[in-house]
Structure 1
Amino acid sequence: MPNFGLEITPRPDLPAIVARWQREITAYELKAGYYAVLDAADGHRCWRWLLDLRRREELATPELDAWLETDFFTLLPNRYAAPVRIAFLVSPLRALQAQSASSVATISSKQDPTQGYHTALFTDEAAAYYWLAQ
């Protein structure tokens, strides 16, 4: 089974699904990776996800942003016992760059309590786990 440059680790002790991209990826691999995270989360009935983006470049394009909003994130509401919480872990430099042009920053800034999921951007892994536990 292809891993799309992604390592997915269930962490029942947290509980969370931790997904770490290990290399640069293509748009196809990004999409496949998100679906692989969803499959792992379904298998563990886990609505807390840490997505570690520190080893890959931003793939922000209008097409990918649209795919996330209209195809992927629409799968999340009411899927689990609680709304999905996605912590995006990025490097401090990328967090500064994300202020201007980043799909992750855009996603995290468009929070709506009725959308059925929550996202946040972090540069500190411990802070991300703390937020996921809320």
Structure 2
Amino acid sequence: MQHFLDVSYRPQEHVLVARWIQQMRTDTDFAAGYHYLLQKARQYNCPFWLLDVRRCPPNCARQARWLLEEFCPLVPSAFRSAELIYSAHLVFPSHLVHYTDIVLPILAHPTNQHYQAAAFIDEGPTIAWLHGQQPA
């Protein structure tokens, strides 16, 4: 486990929950956290992620570009089938506009075919969105 990240799997919801328990100090920590998440997602065959980032400053454009350019291309080989990762970021209300105006538009780039992200300020709608992405 990463020292700054707590990851658990909720089998009844088929959701991987990642809670940052302290700030990531470097871009290396940021990348290591996402690689660890991908490893856990592979272990549980779970592409539905709740990312509680309320204890961290908002992701910056540089980190979003890293996700788009470096991380997203790794996703297809992580699962038994060609699935998307659905990533629901749980953020503070004051950070929401940063995600909707900066981070999510970068991740919505047409070249990104493997990682769909959304941002929420309450865990209930976050889980509801993730459930809505799951096959019926």
* TM-score class normalised by the smaller sequence: 0.7 to 0.9
* Aligned residue identity for 1:131: W
| Aligned-partner Cα distance in 2 for 1:120–1:97 | 12
Structure 1 partner of 2:87: 86
Residue 38 of structure 1: SS of its match in structure 2? helix
Tell me the TM-score normalized by structure 2: 0.81
Tell me the TM-score normalized by structure 1: 0.83
Matches within 5 A, 1:36-115: 36-62=36-62, 64-77=63-76, 79-80=78-79, 81=81, 82-100=83-101, 102-103=102-103, 105-107=104-106, 110=108, 112=110, 115=113
Q: Which runs of 4+ in 1 moved over 4 A?
A: 111-114
1:127 maps to 2:128? no
Give the structure with the larger helix fraction: 2
Q: 1:90/1:71 Cα in 2 relative to 1: closer, same or farther (>3 Å)? A: same
| Aligned-partner Cα distance in 1 for 2:70–2:6 | 23
CA contact (8 A) 2:61 2:106 kept: no
Instruction: State, as a whole percentage, how many aligned pairs show the same letter.
Output: 29
CA contact (8 A) 1:78 1:116 kept: no
| Aligned-partner Cα distance in 2 for 1:128–1:49 | 10
Q: 1:112/1:14 Cα in 2 relative to 1: closer, same or farther (>3 Å)? A: farther
| Aligned-partner Cα distance in 1 for 2:15–2:40 | 10
- Name the count of aligned residue pairs: 129
How much has 1:3 moved relative to structure 2?
A: 1.3
Return 5+ residue gaps in structure 1 as ranges: none
Aligned-residue CA RMSD (Å): 2.2
